[in-house]
């Protein structure tokens, strides 16, 4: 059992995390609207700044909001099933908050103020080749901030392990390996070997125990890479093999998705039985899936590098081997959806805004998983990997699965955490349905554009994709404005405007009691005030960004020393072109022996005998994943680098 003091500790932690995460959602969500608006041509952002916003939005929305929110709510989940946060675990939980908030603030500074734009996955060595868009200090600040966020993950995991392996586990054995087996549910499969007394481990504990150990294993190598990147920003002689670095990144990059999904599963295991009024169906079966997940979760990274897949190479063999392990991770999701779905089926399920958000989150989980099967299949992924299909899949998972879970859990648990009734259920209904319906349209259009070949990570999409991009804009604004009722509802609830919380016999919050008709006035007043302030803020921020974007791009042209004499206006200087190739960061993406570069992001240039005119066109206009360098390089520099690449590619 857990005493009231233990509940108060967990309550405070969950509130601190949730409030901070909600504030991060507001900022990162606005940045996402600006990006899509820019792609539609309705207030075009400078490409360099677009990529800086893309970097901030990705890390802010994914880790700073969704990840941070479920990490915080996990403390309350554990308290709800009798696991108090105590001693060192409490210190680690508090340290996690400070590390994450400081890391997020540093990322904001490095991107929005210092223009770091190497994307939120910061593929090495791209952060070290800003091509004049950002400098070494931006790279250093970003790397240090990402390192702090990574350390926050490690401290959270250690705090979770300290909590779940403590006395509340009721494991018979004192052996730590055996206790961990109990925590991940192996006692349901081998009750004698992993014995507990008097009760087995609660189902919500299992996914938290799995992800806590997995993320320590996944995060520490990335921390080393970030330290190397930080040092290399000022000491270029320090380096690491780019393909190795890419594998290290995705060794972390895929498990971090489950840093969101597994705590989300814990919340589903806690809340769905409560609203269904019965225990989790087939709970013993899911223990098998989590045992598989504990291993498979850290050996699936290679499906992010299928395009680096030269046949007959070690990397190609790794990629091929990890296709089946990726499919193995379908088991925890499929069995969890089966269990949760049949817990709801033919039950006396209570339909509230919170439970509806949870149910729609399960729908989002299923749909995102189906599109994820495409990404996991090598033959299909090579066609869609660098397209907006991936963007649609990822947003579907992040917002319509994890996001709706966070919204539902907030509506369900905020009255428990504060003792205050939810301010307005009707505002909550509006928020949930508008988010789901508009999100389905926006993210569905991304999937369609991706199947048609629309490239991702492009500030300006090719014109043939403009129509669907512009069609999506009204739905993007609806999706953004749909969050206003959520922010207002949370704010008013925290202020106690809904009165004192009451709960039914299942522990489900009851609607706030007000005189008939009172909700209409207060809700309308709140909505008008919040939307007005939101629009004024949006216009002000958009005006700032557009004004900043319209300034002369001084300092963003890559400068190199050009040799005098010898070539005319129509010919390029190969010696000068070699210097442009190096200073513009071309080697970060391309392998070219003449330049001594070994980049793996873009195509290999050696042995292709490229025509000068073709190279000039690609450098000037870009294609596929390659951005345009027009405006970054002068015409002379473009001619020089084209001459150098054409000559080197024929060797």
What residue ranges do the domains of the chain occupy?
4-547, 574-649
What pLDDT, on a 0 to 100 scale, did the predictor assign at position 285?
Answer: 81
Mean residue pLDDT of the chain comes to 87
Mean pLDDT along residues 17-41: 94
What average pLDDT does this structure show over 606-634?
83
Identify which of 195, 196, 188, 332 has the alpha carbon closest to the alpha carbon of residue 257: 332
Measured in Å, how far apart are the chain's first and last C-alpha atoms? 73
The pLDDT of residue 518 is above 50:
no
3-state secondary structure of 455: strand
Q: Is 0.75 topped by the overall pTM?
A: yes
Question: What pLDDT, on a 0 to 100 scale, did the predictor assign at position 568?
Answer: 42
- CATH fold of 574-649 reads Cytochrome Bc1 Complex; Chain D, domain 2 (1.10.760)
516 confidence band (pLDDT: 50, 70, 90)? very low
Mean pLDDT of 404-410: 97
Per DSSP, what are the bridge partners of residue 387? 455
pLDDT at residue 623 in the model: 77
The residue-averaged pLDDT of 358-378 equals 93
117-145 mean pLDDT: 92
Span 341-350, mean pLDDT?
A: 95
Q: Is residue 523 pLDDT above 60, yes or no?
A: no
What does the alpha-carbon distance between residue 174 and residue 490 come to, in Å, rounded to a whole number? 43
Tokens 């507990």 -> residue: 196
Let me know: does 18 contact 86? Beta carbons within 8 Å.
no
CB 400 within 8 Å of CB 368: yes
Q: Is the pLDDT of residue 95 over 90?
A: yes
Tokens of 408: 């539902």
Would you identify the CATH topology of the domain 4-547? Cytochrome C Oxidase; Chain A (1.20.210)
pLDDT classification of 564: cutoffs 50, 70, 90: very low
Average pLDDT over residues 75-84: 96
Percentage above 90 pLDDT, the chain: 61
Confidence of residue 556 (pLDDT cuts 50, 70, 90): very low
More confident residue, 463 or 143: 143
Per-residue pLDDT, 402: 96
Lowest-pLDDT choice from 64-78, 193-207, 441-455, 625-639: 625-639
Determine the Cα–Cα distance for residues 482 and 514; give it in Å rounded to an integer.
Answer: 24
Q: Judging by beta carbons within 10 Å of its beta carbon (0-12, 13-18, 19+), is residue 296 exposed, middle or buried?
A: buried
């Amino acid at each position: 059992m857990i005493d009231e003091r233990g509940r108060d500790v967990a309550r405070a932690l969950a509130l601190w995390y949730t409030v901070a995460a909600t504030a991060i959602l507001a900022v990162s969500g606005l940045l996402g609207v600006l990006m899509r608006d820019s792609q539609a041509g309705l207030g075009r952002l400078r490409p360099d700044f677009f990529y800086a916003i893309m970097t901030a939005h990705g890390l802010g929305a994914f880790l700073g909001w969704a990840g941070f929110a479920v990490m915080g709510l996990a403390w309350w989940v554990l308290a709800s099933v009798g696991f108090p946060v105590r001693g060192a675990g409490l210190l680690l939980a508090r340290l996690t908050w400070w590390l994450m908030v400081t890391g997020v603030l540093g990322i904001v500074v490095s991107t929005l103020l210092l223009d770091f734009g190497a994307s939120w996955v910061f593929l090495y060595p791209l952060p070290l080749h800003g091509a004049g868009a950002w400098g070494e200090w931006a790279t250093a600040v970003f790397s240090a901030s990402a390192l702090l966020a990574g350390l926050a993950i490690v401290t959270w995991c250690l705090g979770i392990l300290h909590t779940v392996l403590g006395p509340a586990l009721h494991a018979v054995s004192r052996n730590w390996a055996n206790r961990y087996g109990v925590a991940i549910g192996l006692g349901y499969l081998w009750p004698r070997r992993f014995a507990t007394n008097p009760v087995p481990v609660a189902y919500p504990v299992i996914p938290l125990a799995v992800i806590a150990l997995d993320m320590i294993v996944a995060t520490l190598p990335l921390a080393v890479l970030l330290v190397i990147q930080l040092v290399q920003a000022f000491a270029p002689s320090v380096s690491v093999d780019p393909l190795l670095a890419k594998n290290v990144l995705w060794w972390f990059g895929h498990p971090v998705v489950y840093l969101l999904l597994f705590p989300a599963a814990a919340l589903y295991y806690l809340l769905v039985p409560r609203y269904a009024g019965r225990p989790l169906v087939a709970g013993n079966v899911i223990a098998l899936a989590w045992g598989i997940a504990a291993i498979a979760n850290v050996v699936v990274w290679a499906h992010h590098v299928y395009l680096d897949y030269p046949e007959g190479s070690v990397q190609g063999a790794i990629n091929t081997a990890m296709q089946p392990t990726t499919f193995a991770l379908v088991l925890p999701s499929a069995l969890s959806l089966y269990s949760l779905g049949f817990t709801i089926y033919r039950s006396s399920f209570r339909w509230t805004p919170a439970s509806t958000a949870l149910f729609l989150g399960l729908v989002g989980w299923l749909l995102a998983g189906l599109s994820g099967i495409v990404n996991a299949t090598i033959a299909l992924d090579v066609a869609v990997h660098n397209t907006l299909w991936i963007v649609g899949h990822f947003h579907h998972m992040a917002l319509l699965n994890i996001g709706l879970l966070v919204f539902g859990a907030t509506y369900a648990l905020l009255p428990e955490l504060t003792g205050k009734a939810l301010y307005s259920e009707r505002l909550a209904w509006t928020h949930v349905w508008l988010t789901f319906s508009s999100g389905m349209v926006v993210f569905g259009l991304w999937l369609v554009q991706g199947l048609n070949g629309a490239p991702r990570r492009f500030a300006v999409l090719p014109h043939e994709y403009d129509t669907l991009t512009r069609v999506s804009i009204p739905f993007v604004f609806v999706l953004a404005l749909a969050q206003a009722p959520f922010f207002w509802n949370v704010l008013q609830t925290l202020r106690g405007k809904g009165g004192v919380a009451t709960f039914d016999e299942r522990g489900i919050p009851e609607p706030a009691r007000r005189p008939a008709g009172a909700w209409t006035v207060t809700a309308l007043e709140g909505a008008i005030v919040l939307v007005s302030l939101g629009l004024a803020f949006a216009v002000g921020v958009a005006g700032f960004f557009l004004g900043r974007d319209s300034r002369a791009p001084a300092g963003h042209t890559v400068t190199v020393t050009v040799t005098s004499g010898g070539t005319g206006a129509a010919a390029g200087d190969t010696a000068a072109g070699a210097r442009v190739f190096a200073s513009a960061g071309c080697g970060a993406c391309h392998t070219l022996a003449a330049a001594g570069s070994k980049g793996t992001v873009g195509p290999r240039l050696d042995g292709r005998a490229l025509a000068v005119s073709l190279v000039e066109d690609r450098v000037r206009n870009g294609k596929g994943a390659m951005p345009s360098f027009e405006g970054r390089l002068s015409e002379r520099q473009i001619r020089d680098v084209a001459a150098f690449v054409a000559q080197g590619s024929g060797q």
